[in-house]
Chains A and B, each alone.
Chain A
Amino acid sequence: MPESLLTILKLCALALLYLFFLRVLRAVWAEVASTRTAAAAVPQAPPGRVSAPRRSAGRREKASSHLTVMEPAEQKGRSFTLADELTVGRAAGCQITLDDNYVSQLHARVFLRDGMLYVEDLGSTNGTYLNSHKVSSPVAFKRGDRLKIGSTVMELTS
């Protein structure tokens, strides 16, 4: 096989290699650009537009919901504003940190999906109770419901 042909083939292989990198860069760029426009679009979207009724309803509920501690008595009235997702546990990384030996490091999660709030147990040792029923899979969390984690009871208030 002539050497010049091998050289041409080698250059083709190198060109393909760099074509690969260009395509990777293009894919990355497309993602970065799309999130940038998405981030820019969110604050501009007027609330309550007809095109996004479900979402805006969800946002309104989120903005006005709180978890208020009912028990123990010395913590009563302490309140947490709900976000898209909240984790409850003993670990410092949780949004709601409960200093209680009956609470697992990562105990439970409260999250918003399609405008509805849900509670999910994250495999805690002592369980999560919603209105005295043990939470085994994600269940809907409605206003007035009482959430018991360890010795803390919290109520969903507006």
Chain B
Amino acid sequence: MIPVVRRNTELGLILLVIIITAGTYTLASLGTTSDLPADIGPFLGIVLALLAGAHVATRHLAPGGDGVLLPIAGLLNGLGYVWIARLDEDLAGLQATWTAVGITAFVGTLALVRRTRDLERYRYTFMLVGVGLLLLPLVPVVGKTVNGARIWVELGPISFQPGEFAKIILAVFFASYLVDKRELLGMAANRIGPLTLPNLRHFGPVLLAWAASLLVMTAQRDLGSSLLFFALFVVMLWVATERASYLAVSGLLFAGGAFAAWSVFAHVQQRIAIWLDPWSDVTDQGFQVVQATFALAWGGVAGTGPGLGNPDRIPLIETDFIFVAIGEELGLLGSTGIIVAYLLMVGTGLRIALRAETPFNKLLATGLTTILGIQSFIIIGGVTRLVPLTGITLPFVSYGGSSLIANYILLALLIRISDDNASAGVGADRRAGAAP
């Protein structure tokens, strides 16, 4: 019953996504060249094939999986592609390839992970792989520094960002580790005011996660990922133990670490200075952020129209600043739409976590949702100057193979968990159906 309804919802939404993507693609072409796009036929065919392929695979592999996640991801991916194609045709071809690989990874994950508890059993393997991937860019020969951050790995012809995959693998490890240790970690030892503090030695894992994220921040100069990893661990720890004191202590640790980094590292000071006052150095350090602010202002409520703005003035527009390109050409309404899409995804992810039957599934769904939510918050907040700018990709929208593939794997895991929930709830469903 639930599976049929969910899959038909998904199909309906996917058709709408295809119409929106193709329509915006046509509009962007009309805006830039005042002509219909020459390749609209193949474009429609590829979008249709990719989304239909993912949909058919879900029908077979996870029939009870949630029906709104895939369409929302498809919408974000499609809109991202439209703007990448409008800004840089070479990148567009690559992004199309990455999308195809991403959808394949999505189907592959659904096919490979038939039960999430299979993941739970390899927790220490996942820990080693996760930490290994995280630290891989620091290895002398394979690691590569791009734009000041050492987050790339080059193996022969392939270069990728292992951190994008590490975040998912570490979420799996944290979930299985915390399921095992949550009672121990949640035990109350001391009370200070309204806070119940667990035994001091149980803060060991927090300190370890903190040290690891500081290492990522200092050695790889990747502020965004550092914040993402630490926040992921702390949120999962809080959800597993139901102890708010972990949040408080971690918040203090984070503030301390951030302050220390600010006083020691020039690149952190620079970021903060640009955040507080980009206008003092408009032509150099503040250029990117100031141009982004102008672009968003120029867009107004409904935007200049796809293809009619000048987002190509902003450096890194296809990756970190893609949100601004959409904000300029679709205005406040369009950029709000992107935020609404992430809110709906996060809401759906948390609903899946609430419904999850086993503690592991609950924690894993929470962790994966946290990744999506925090990552989009960090970068959208960064380009709109709500928080200091840290380079990180906007999930599903930004140009980037590693990011796109990793996020499709994340999506597949969430859908797998919701499929588990649906098949566990079959009994409850039948009860409800029998009641008058």
Contact = CB atoms under 8 A, between A and B. Distances in A.
A38 B357 CA distance: 17
A143 to B, nearest CB: 21
A7 to B, nearest CB: 6
A17 B427 CA distance: 37
B359 A20 contact: no
A9 interface: yes
B305 A16 contact: no
Nearest to A45: B435
B333 A14 contact: yes
Nearest to A106: B117
Contacts of B13: 20, 23-24, 27
Given A20-B75, A106-B120, A10 B303 contact: yes
Interface string A55-77: 10000000000000000000000
Given A23-B12, A27-B9, A13 B431 contact: no
Contacts, number: 132
Interface residues of A, number: 45
Nearest to B30: A1
B219 interface: no
Interface in B390-436: 424, 427-432, 434-436
A91 B182 CA distance: 11
Contact of B27 (A13, A37, A44, A55): A13
Interface in B1-16: 2, 5-6, 9, 12-13, 16
Contacts of A128: none
Contacts of A12: 23
Contacts of B337: 14, 17-18, 21
Interface in A33-67: 37-38, 41-42, 44-45, 49, 51-52, 55
Contacts of A16: 16, 19-20, 23
A106 B330 contact: no
Interface in B100-133: 117-118, 120-121
A93 B179 contact: yes
B124 to A, nearest CB: 11
Contacts of A92: 179-183
B153 to A, nearest CB: 32
Interface stretch (B66-74, B209-217, B258-266): B66-74
A49 B334 CA distance: 53
A14 B304 CA distance: 12
Contacts of B9: 27
B317 interface: no
8 contacts: A10-B302, A28-B348, A31-B2, A31-B6, A38-B429, A92-B181, A113-B427, A122-B117
Closest 4 CB pairs of A and B: A38-B432, A52-B434, A41-B435, A45-B435
Interface of B: 2, 5-6, 9, 12-13, 16-17, 19-20, 23-24, 27, 30-31, 34, 67-68, 71-72, 75, 117-118, 120-121, 179-183, 302-303, 305-306, 308, 330, 333-334, 337, 340-341, 344, 347-348, 351, 357-360, 424, 427-432, 434-436
Interface of A: 1, 6-7, 9-14, 16-21, 23-25, 27-28, 30-32, 37-38, 41-42, 44-45, 49, 51-52, 55, 84-85, 87, 91-93, 105-106, 112-113, 122-123
